[in-house]
């Protein structure tokens, strides 16, 4: 099987021909054993996220980010 890669040479895996979208998770924090996943809050998170992603000059951090995460709510 031929490896699929994006324009940055990152492996992106096989095409999922019969994939269908699922419902979005509820907008609450999810606490696990090792971390807590928290919904994005503009006041709480925007500045630190901007600083962190500004360091990625080749935009490699965006490879696996779902497009809907970028849409306004």
pLDDT in tens, 2-17: 788 988 888 888 888 9
DSSP 35: -
Please tell me the pTM assigned to this model: 0.41
Q: Which two tokens stand for residue 49?
A: 């996220």
Task: Give every CB contact of residue 58 below 8 A, 6+ residues apart in sequence.
Answer: 8
29, HSE (Cβ side, Cα atoms, 13 Å):
6
Give the pLDDT mean for 34-49. Answer: 91
């Amino acid at each position: 099987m031929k490896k699929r890669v994006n324009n940055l040479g990152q492996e992106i895996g096989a095409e999922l021909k019969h994939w269908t979208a699922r419902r979005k998770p509820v907008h609450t924090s999810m606490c696990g054993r090792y971390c807590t996943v928290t919904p994005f809050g503009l006041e709480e998170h925007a500045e630190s996220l901007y600083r962190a992603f500004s360091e990625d000059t080749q935009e490699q951090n965006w490879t696996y980010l779902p497009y809907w995460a970028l849409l306004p709510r």
